[in-house]
Amino acid sequence: MTDKKTLAPPGTANVIRHHKQTPFEIARRVIFIIIGAILVAVSLEIFLVNNSIIDGGVTGISIMSYYLSGVPIGIFLFFLNLPFLILGYKTIGKTFALSTLLGIIVLSITTTLLHHVEPFTDDIFLAAVFGGIFLGAGTGIVIRAGGSLDGTEIVAILINRKSPFSVGQTVMFINLFILGSAGFVYSWDRAMFSLIAYYIAFKVIDLTIEGFDESKSCWIISDFHKDIGEAINARLGRGVTLLHGEGGYSGDQKKVIFCVITRLEEAKLKTIVNEIDSGAFLAVGNIHDVKGGRFKKKDIH
């Protein structure tokens, strides 16, 4: 196998050029982080806190600390996140740490400014639903911009590096423990409403990060690979790639069709495959991001 290092001219070092962000990209990142942090602050002060509903992570701890002490939640949000922020700067990277610091500062200041604003509703269920929506949208925007608003995510990333647990599993475990604590601080019905808000926020974060036109990868194994590939290209307008495959047990040589489609095109692709070869093997999986090539999400029709 050819080592890429041997391709460099003798006596020269291989240099990895990192993309330097333009002023426009930096400004765009800053604006989105500010918008996301403000949305989270609105969720906390206008919907959740005054109705005794908490979020997970450091935010949830800050809400309960405010309830027990009366100290504004913005102070807890800043100082409780600070140790995790320093940890993230040392282990994850400067850009991530600075983006997170900006988000936490804006979140702390905005929650303080909104502290005396009357809640939009006293209905506990509406507060949980709309609080979860604003919370998820704001958090998702900040994550897409390359930052974070909660130190537990930094801890989860570090734990993931040294354990078999994924980042999502670690965050879920920490948050379930914190949300369960709401039952002792407030009441068990408030803890259950907190779970509702957290679940809604979790789903909205996914929608914000991935978008409604989520992409999907498709793997198709069929003896009619040529016909299926041409039909996908003609009827969906999607390019396909033919891969060489070999049966692990039989040793038979097979052609594997690989293509990327949108969520809205999945049903049509299954129809195409079934019409040509009802016995074809078809596997469809979610993709969080697609870049390059001829794939364009705007091709949805």
Determine the residue type at 68: L
**Residue 18, class by beta-carbon neighbours within 10 Å (0-12 exposed, 13-18 middle, 19+ buried)?**
exposed
Which percentage of the chain shows pLDDT scores above 90? 28
Which percentage of the chain shows pLDDT scores above 70? 85
255: helix, strand or coil:
strand
Question: Tens digits of per-residue pLDDT, 227-254?
Answer: 999 999 988 888 898 998 877 777 788 8
Q: Which domains does the chain have, with CATH numbers?
A: 23-210 (no CATH), 215-299 (3.30.70.120)
DSSP assignment of 189-230: HHHHHHHHHHHHHHHHHHHHHH-SS-EEEEEEE-TTHHHHHH
Q: Does 12 have pLDDT greater than 50?
A: no
Out of 93-97, 133-137, 167-171, which region has the weakest mean confidence (pLDDT)?
Answer: 167-171
Beta strands in 131-212 (DSSP E): none
In the predicted model, what is the mean pLDDT of residues 11-28? Answer: 62
pLDDT at 108 (0 to 100): 93
Q: Does 261 have pLDDT greater than 70?
A: yes
Question: Tens digits of per-residue pLDDT, 149-187?
Answer: 888 877 777 777 777 776 667 777 888 888 888 888 888
How far apart CA 35 and CA 208 sit, in angstroms, is 13
Q: Does 8 have pLDDT greater than 70?
A: no
In the predicted model, what is the mean pLDDT of residues 263-290? Answer: 85
- The more confident residue out of 18 and 94 is 94
Contact between 73 and 79 under an 8 Å Cβ cutoff? The reply is: no
In the predicted model, what is the mean pLDDT of residues 45-72? Answer: 88
pTM of the model: 0.69
Which position has the token pair 């982080």? 33
